[in-house]
A and B are shown apart, each in its own frame.
Chain A
Amino acid sequence: MSRGGKLVNMIIGLEVHCQLDTKSKLFCGCSTDYRDDGPNTHSCPICSGLPGSLPSINKKAVEYAIRVAKSLKCEICEESEFSRKNYFYPDLPKGFQITQYDHPLALKGILTIDDDEGLEKIVRITRIHLEEDPGRLVHKGGVDRPKYTLVDYNRSGIPLIEIVTEPDLRSPQEARRYLQKLRATLEYLSVFDSEKEGSLRVDANISIEGSERVEVKNITSYKGVEKALTFEYTRQKNALRRGQKIIRETRHFVEGRGVTTSSRSKEMEQDYRYFPEPDLLPLRVKEWSEKISLPELPDARRERFIEQYSCSPIHAKTLTGDLKVAEFYEKVAKINPVLCATWVADTLLGELYYRNMSVQAVPHERFIELIAILDAGKITEKSAVEVLRNLLDQIKDSGICESPNECIVRLNLGKTGGDAITKAVGEVISEQKTAIKDLKNGKKGAMNFLVGQVMKKIRGRGDPQEINLLLEQALSPGDE
């Protein structure tokens, strides 16, 4: 991790829980579309754990899980089964969670990511299993000093897959990249919607080589993983430097404060008293894997973008790292795919991120028009950025925007014609005597200054190369 100083190895393994995007829950027919509804409106005797209710397995959830397992090159187990994990906590009304324990659905896969040097790295997947999501708890009076707890069982029973890695990750940045790649893969498979709140949760195991490992729970975002692990690494390193021992414990990530706090969990593995779920029959679904066909995944799409659109490898990686961005790019890459790749990957994504907007909000036609105008040389790049910003602001405010052409006319951003530039060049030459002297004395920076002065006069609507040329011509010795 630390460069130059003493090398301290960080060892990270992740357990990622993803909600599968089925219509109904894992063991009952309650709808999974609960986010806009009041508490306890998507629950029934099965997912609220009433005595005598009988779970039955959602076939689609198993198919989705196998799709994920196949894409991560896992082995689907000949037979897998559900178990009861017993614990006493109100997020599960039955007193146990139905999960998979010693016979998970799939074992031994891989996911390829970039390491911190940009080299390809294989992260080993230990296992993938299916389980039910617990209910949601609201701690009243704050996490630090709660007075009581409110329980909502709408989330209880949503199908989850847990994807567990070997301790192969070596930095918080690698962990973030692993998550981004995993998210992209799941979205390409159409089994997961990352925009749904709480659809992905992470537990991270982190240790410093030679010390005990600490489990950090309650990480709910991609940025959160990097933050939690960076905090935890610093905490452990400092403790070791002070001669303290790292104790094996579970810690809780407090997103708002960016810290982890000790949450003494009293349960040990044997306290969960796992046993096979007697209400469910085992799964023998290994052969399903052959019948399930996988769509084009991020790596394959990246190669195709390089081939088909002549994207640079870096642009291709950015564009394919998110399914929605990849789909947007393919819709707008009509006129000049390379220019388009630059504009989507370098400009649009940054502007969207700044406004906390999704690429789905951007109308394809408007973007295509803007690129066409830019490609035809009718506006400068600088003006095109201004148009884009204007359009995005309009979409953010009202959901719709004017056409790029209307925007160019309204803001008077059309490229300034030859006469206006020549006039501005003339004015600058008569005004900036000192700079011209500098230039003649060989000071190269003076030319940039002069171009800047001309640009200022025509409000950035000129082509810098053209201005440069005009200035050079005007200042060439023959004209003196």
Chain B
Amino acid sequence: MIDENDVRHIAELADVTVTSGELKKFTSQFNTILEYFDTLDCVEGVTNERTDRCNNFREDEVTHSLPQEELLANASEKEEGFFKAPKVM
């Protein structure tokens, strides 16, 4: 189980501000999600053992990139072909 301190710490790492109301709400939601995993653990025939599959490679071949406009299509802010983000330093 996680508590409000965990949620506050994760919010800080993600640079997200949370109100005290949200803190309570998210803590309970996080724990609900984590409980699903307990449920999954009860399903028979499911193991967390690794498979033998490995080495799934592609060859070193160049494929098309997206045009700049398309890549930037969903950007809320852009400038001269760059994504524009808040200052981070």
Residues of A within 8 A of B (CB): 22-24, 28-31, 38-45, 48, 56-62, 79, 86-90, 95, 137-139, 141, 143, 146-153, 263, 266-267, 271, 280-285
> Which of the segments B17-25, B29-37, B39-47, B64-72 contacts the partner chain?
B64-72
Size band of the interface chain B makes with A: 20 to 34
Q: Which residues of A contact B82 (CB under 8 A)?
A: 39-40, 138, 150-152
Which of A38, A39, A143, A284 has its CB near the most chain B CB atoms (within 10 A)? A39
Q: Is the CB of B65 within 8 A of A30?
A: yes
Please state if B58 and A58 are interface contacts (CB–CB under 8 Å). Answer: yes
Q: Indicate if the CB atoms of A41 and B68 lie closer than 8 Å.
A: yes
CB-based contact A150/B14 at 8 Å:
no
B82 → chain A, closest Cβ, in Å? 4
Select A285's contact among B53, B55, B65, B66, beta carbons within 8 Å: B55
CB pair A30 B13 closer than 8 Å: no
Cβ distance A114 to chain B, nearest Cβ, rounded Å:
36
- B33 CB to closest chain A CB (Å) equals 15
Shortest C-beta distance, A462 to chain B (Å), equals: 59
Among residues 42 to 89 in chain B, which have CB atoms less than 8 Å away from a CB atom of chain A? Answer: 50, 53-68, 71-72, 79-89
Residue B15 at the chain A interface, CB threshold 8 Å: yes
CB < 8 Å: which of A44, A58, A87 contacts B60?
A58
Alpha-carbon gap, A284 to B86, bound state (A): 41
A residues in contact with B66, CB < 8 Å: 43-45, 48
Bound Cα distance from A271 to B15, whole angstroms? 13
The answer to whether B13 touches A267 (Cβ under 8 A) is yes
CA A139 to CA B79, docked complex, whole Å: 13
Listed residue (B58, B81, B82, B85) with the most chain A CB atoms within 10 angstroms of its CB:
B82
Which of chain B's residues have a CB closer than 8 A to the CB of A139? 87-89
Known: A39-B82, A139-B87, A150-B84. A24 touches B62 (CB 8 A): yes
Is B3 in the interface zone, CB < 8 Å from A? Answer: no
Q: Which of B65, B72, B89 has the most CB of A within 10 A?
A: B65
Measured between beta carbons, the chain B residues less than 8 angstroms from A58 are 57-60
Alpha-carbon separation in the docked complex, A342 to B41 (Å): 72
B71 touching A60 by the CB < 8 A rule? Answer: no
- Contact yes or no, A88 B14, CB < 8 A: yes
- Which of A149, A153, A284 makes the CB contact (< 8 A) with B87? A149
- In the complex, A402 Cα to B12 Cα: how many Å? 65
Q: Determine how close the nearest CB of chain A comes to the CB of B75; give it in whole angstroms.
A: 9
Hey, which chain A residues are within 8 Å of B13, CB to CB?
A: 86-88, 266-267, 271
Q: Is the CB of B81 within 8 A of A59?
A: no
Considering the complex of A and B, which 7 residue pairs feature the smallest CB-CB distances, nearest first? A29-B63, A60-B60, A150-B82, A59-B57, A151-B83, A39-B81, A146-B87
Q: Are B71 and A148 in contact (CB under 8 A)?
A: no
In the docked arrangement, what's the CA distance between A62 and B54, Å?
A: 13
B54 touches A284 (CB 8 A): yes
Q: How far is the CA of A38 from the CA of B79 in the complex (A)?
A: 12
| Additional A-B contact list (20), CB under 8 Å, known A148-B87, A281-B56 | A23-B62, A38-B81, A39-B80, A40-B68, A40-B82, A58-B57, A58-B60, A59-B58, A86-B13, A88-B15, A90-B85, A137-B88, A143-B89, A146-B89, A150-B79, A150-B83, A151-B85, A152-B82, A271-B13, A280-B56
Instruction: Name B53's closest neighbour in chain A (CB-CB).
Output: A281
8 Å CB contact of A48 from B15, B64, B71, B88: B71
CB distance from A234 to the nearest CB of B (A): 25
Q: Can you spell out 21 A-B residue pairs with CB atoms less than 8 angstroms apart?
A: A24-B62, A30-B62, A38-B81, A39-B68, A40-B68, A44-B65, A44-B66, A48-B66, A56-B57, A57-B58, A58-B57, A58-B58, A58-B59, A60-B60, A137-B88, A138-B82, A150-B83, A151-B84, A153-B71, A267-B13, A281-B56
Q: In whole angstroms, what is the CA distance A56 to B15 when docked?
A: 30
- Asked if A57 and B61 sit within 8 Å, CB to CB, the answer is no
Indicate if the CB atoms of A284 and B83 lie closer than 8 Å: no
* Complex Cα spacing A447 to B79, Å: 72
Q: How far is the CA of A344 from the CA of B60 in the complex (A)?
A: 37
Docked complex Cα distance between A284 and B14 (Å): 34
Name the B residues within 8 Å of A266 (CB-CB). Answer: 12-13
Nearest chain-A residue to B58 (Cβ)? A56
Distance in angstroms from B61 CB to nearest chain A CB is: 6
User: Smallest CB-CB separation from A252: which chain B residue?
Assistant: B89
Q: Within 8 Å CB of A281, what residues of B?
A: 53-56
Are the C-beta atoms of B63 and A40 separated by less than 8 Å? no
Partner of A149, one of B59, B62, B65, B85: B85
For residue B27, give the distance in angstroms from its CB to the closest CB of chain A: 17
Q: Say which residue of A141, A146, A148 sits within 8 Å of B84 (CB atoms).
A: A148
**Are B55 and A24 touching (Cβ within 8 A)?**
no
